[in-house]
Each structure stands twice: as structure tokens, then as C-alpha cells.
Amino acid sequence: MGKIEQYGHGGDVWTAAKAFGGQAEAFLDYSANINPLGPPSCVQQALQQSWERMLQYPDPGHRKMKGYLAERLGVEPEYLLIGNGAAECMALALLYLKPTTVGVIAPCFSEYEALSKQFDAKVIAIRGSKELDYQAPAEELLKLAAERDVCFVGHPNNPTGVLYSSQVLTEAANLAAEKNHTLIVDEAFIDFLDEDEAEVNSLYRLCENNRHLIVLRSLTKFYAIPGLRLGYAIAHPSLIEGMKDKQVTWSVNGLALAAGEALFDPKHREEVAAYEEETRTLIVKEREWLRAELRVLGLETWPSQANFLLCHIETPWTAASLQQALGGRGILIRSCAMYEGLQDGHFRLAVKDHSSNERLIHTLRQVLAEEQPSSS
């Protein structure tokens, strides 16, 4: 069987369909971390009403969405860059900064290393400690930020779901600035935290006084619009201008902008706030239920602040053999065996609605009781 993550990410149901048979849309996909509620109704309505936007070029300045978002965050629009997903913002930062060396903390989002290498940077990885839930010790993180041109930190981290200390990250941002380096804090999953907790832990308010800090946010996970690709960066205008100069005109399409405008339009605030609260309540409840059920099955899990869980299965099973067994039963999981710092038994599960989670646990129980792991 070929590698399901041949493009380096979860959510590839098309490769799964080719490997396991069946229709791509029929898989219960636990390999991609998308809000199980689907997008807010105001986004769905905006998309239905915005088909005319396909007949015109999108606003290259993203002015309406940027204005609404700036008001929501309490920053000036000049501190924002709207991108085709957080991944584009990441690429624009690297294109503008042209780092020679990039520091990462393994295990981490694979795009940090992949993009850095595409832009000819040397990637230096330090490993998180299992005893610290795969976080790096504070002194090693600070050393990395001080020594490398650019340093990436996931906050919460992917695939572990662990949140770093905002105090340590603040110190890292200050150290990077002293050395004329840049700290990039990836907050793609921070919206899954309680709103007050997210505000306390986010670093974006430091950008006003720190010209060496970039905060990345994704809208595709929390608001369930991965097919539209939408994210943004928060940074000092001196950084935003440099990144914007590297951005391809119209990289953010009109329908994605319509979705973003609907999300942050003040007249939708009450509806979106209710959606956000429902999402957080659901994820916390289901994440804890899922962890408890996985422990009963003998699987190790780690505490997570995001909408996914890092898990480990003991030999003779591996993540690959479990992925194959579940894939044949219509469920797709994300193998994490290829992540530096993790082992063959590590895999990641999204947190979904209760009926989906029950099906996952039921199928897992059957697989572990009835099947022998495949050696392929």
C-alpha cells in the first residue's frame, strides 16, 4: 500500500480511496482537524449570495475583510495580511525574510521544514521531550530563537496539541529581536481555546512594539472552510509590507473573502460568537471522552488544547498498520510516524461529533480484537 500522506498532510481522501477502494467522500476522515459543526450559517449564506463575485476580480487589498478583522482584533489594518491559508502567509514570510537558517521544534507541522527547504534555508531541529509532552525545555527554545534567522513555534503545536508558555514565547520574541532574527508563532489552532484563555496566551498584541514577531492564524480549521483556503498574519507594518510585496495578486479568491467578511462583519457577531462557544464546548467534551475511551483500549494519548489528539499504539501494531486496518473499514487517520521525534506507533486523531467518535471507538475496538496487524 502506498503512503497515504504522500503530499505531506492529512485530509487526502482521494489517495485513501485509491488505496482502500470506495468513494473519497464516503470516508470518515479523522486525519484532518476540521470543526465538526461545519461553517457558521452566515458563511453559508454569504457564499450562496456571492456567486456574482466569480465574475469579477477579488479585491487585491482585501480591504473589507481586513477592516472587519482589524476591528475584531483591536489592531490597525496595517498590521494584517490576508492569505490563501496560513500556509501562504508562512511562505510569504520566508520569501521576504530570506533566512539562511530556520529553527523548528520537532515534532511539529511539516510545512515549516518543507517550505524552508523550498526557499533554500537550512533547517535546524531540536527535539521536544516526551516528559514535557514533546515540548522543548525553555532554555533550548530560547537558544534556538537567539541563534537562528527564523524560528517557528506552533502554539498550540501540531501534532501534539500542546500550548507553550506565553511568558517563554515572549522572552523568545524579545531575544529574536535583539539578534535581528524573527520568531514566527503559528496560532492556527488557538481559537479552540476558551476566548479569554486565547487572549491571554496569544502573542499578537506584542507585534505593535516588536518588529521581529509574526503571528499566523488559520480560519479553515475552526470555521470549517478548508476548501476555500483562508488565513492571516499579524505583524508590525514593516513586516507586513515586505510580505505583501511577495504575494501574488488575487491569491485570495473572491468567495474566500466573502466567507471572511461574513465571519467578521459586526452585524454577525452575536451569531458567530454563539457558534464559537458551541464549538469550544463540543471539542472539550468530546476530546476528554475520546481520550478516556482510547485509554480503555490501551492506547496512549497526550493532553491537547486543540481539536485533535496525538496517540500511540504499541507493537506489533504501527500507525501504518492501524491506518490500513481502519482505512479498509472507511475511517482515515493521520500517521505521525514520519514526524521527527515520534515513533512508528504515533498517529493523530481529529476530534469530531459524538456519533462519529462512537463509530471510531467501536471500529477501533473491533480492529484490535479481530485483526492482526499487516506487515505492509
Q: Residue 70 burial (CB < 10 Å; 0-12/13-18/19+)?
A: middle
pLDDT (tens place) for every residue of the chain, 376 residues total: 457 665 656 666 777 777 788 776 778 999 999 999 999 999 999 999 998 888 999 999 999 999 999 999 999 999 999 999 999 999 999 999 999 999 999 999 999 999 999 999 999 999 999 999 999 999 999 999 999 999 999 999 999 999 999 999 999 999 999 999 999 999 999 999 999 999 999 999 999 999 999 999 999 999 999 999 999 999 999 999 999 999 999 999 999 999 999 999 999 999 999 999 999 999 999 999 999 999 999 999 999 999 999 999 999 999 999 999 999 999 999 999 999 999 999 999 999 999 999 999 999 999 999 877 875 5
Cα gap 201→198, rounded to integer Å = 5
Cell numbers representing residue 151 in the block: 524560528
Distances (CA, A) of 154 to 22, 89, 224: 35, 14, 20
C-alpha cell at 172: 523568545
- Reading across the β-sheet that carries 231-235, which strands appear in turn? 80-83, 231-235, 213-218, 182-186, 150-154, 101-106, 122-127
Q: What is the pLDDT of residue 1?
A: 43
User: Could you tell me the three cell numbers for 83?
Assistant: 492569505
Could you please report the per-residue DSSP string of 163-225?
PPPHHHHHHHHHHHHHTT-EEEEE-TTGGGS-HHHHHHH--GGGGGT-TTEEEEEESTTTTT-
Q: Provide the pLDDT for residue 7.
A: 60
Q: Can you give the pTM of this predicted structure?
A: 0.95
Which alpha helices (DSSP H) does the chain contain, by range?
Answer: 13-20, 41-49, 63-73, 85-97, 110-118, 138-147, 166-178, 195-201, 237-245, 254-264, 269-296, 319-327, 354-370
Q: What is the pLDDT of residue 375?
A: 59
* Closest-CA residue to 358 (of 331, 325, 327, 336): 331
349: amino acid identity, one letter: L
What distance in Å separates the CA atoms of residue 243 and residue 41, rounded to the nearest whole number? 32
Using CB atoms within 10 Å of the CB of residue 372, give its burial: 0 to 12 exposed, 13 to 18 middle, 19+ buried. Answer: exposed
Q: Is 101 helix (H, G, I), strand (E, B) or coil?
A: strand
Report yes or no: 309 and 349 within 8 Å, Cβ to Cβ.
Answer: yes
3-class state of residue 9 by DSSP: coil
